[in-house]
Chains A and B, each alone.
Chain A
Amino acid sequence: DIVMTQSPDSLAVSLGERATINCKSSQSVLYSSNNKNYLAWYQQKPGQPPKLLIYWASTRESGVPDRFSGSGSGTDFTLTISSLQAEDVAVYYCQQYYIIPPLTFGGGTKVEIK
């Protein structure tokens, strides 16, 4: 199984400041034949289902604000919120879809306002 490890578990960032969340996979999720990283990011606000933010490690889902960006390759990935807004308070999860079964999620990172 591919284990996904997120860090930190939580972070508090001032409004307008940058938030950075890391995700590390136990093996590469880069498929060499198409040069794609099989890595997605989700946002889950309290009392709501998760929402897709990023797929292929760096492709923003339609409608997602451009302050959200994904980067990284192989085993190390980052979700960046360039200028934190109040509505970005949520838990963020990474997920690998390189191997099924099982699909695996990171443990989540809680983002709060400082």
Chain B
Amino acid sequence: RKEVEQDPGPFNVPEGATVAFNCTYSNSASQSFFWYRQDCRKEPKLLMSVYSSGNEDGRFTAQLNRASQYISLLIRDSKLSDSATYLCVVNFNNDMRFGAGTRLTVKP
């Protein structure tokens, strides 16, 4: 079993749609969690940290479910510029584990 698993997609959604991605992790002692965004042929960039109580940043909402060992990312009112690959990252003792990413395409 992979340490961090994501549905690779692609998710193709129309502008304005709401889309959600899940990511599961295998290490129950994982300490911190992040979502990164990666555009084609570019480096990953931090989108948001994921806090235990859940957190929101504009149109983006991240949630953590420790009991079921997954994190989620919800994007509301999708924009064309949201098209990218979204990487789930799980950290244990400074050992960061990256998912392979979920590809999102937002279409006009």
Is the pairing of A and B real? no
Interface residues of B (CB under 8 A from A): none
Interface residues of A (CB under 8 A from B): none
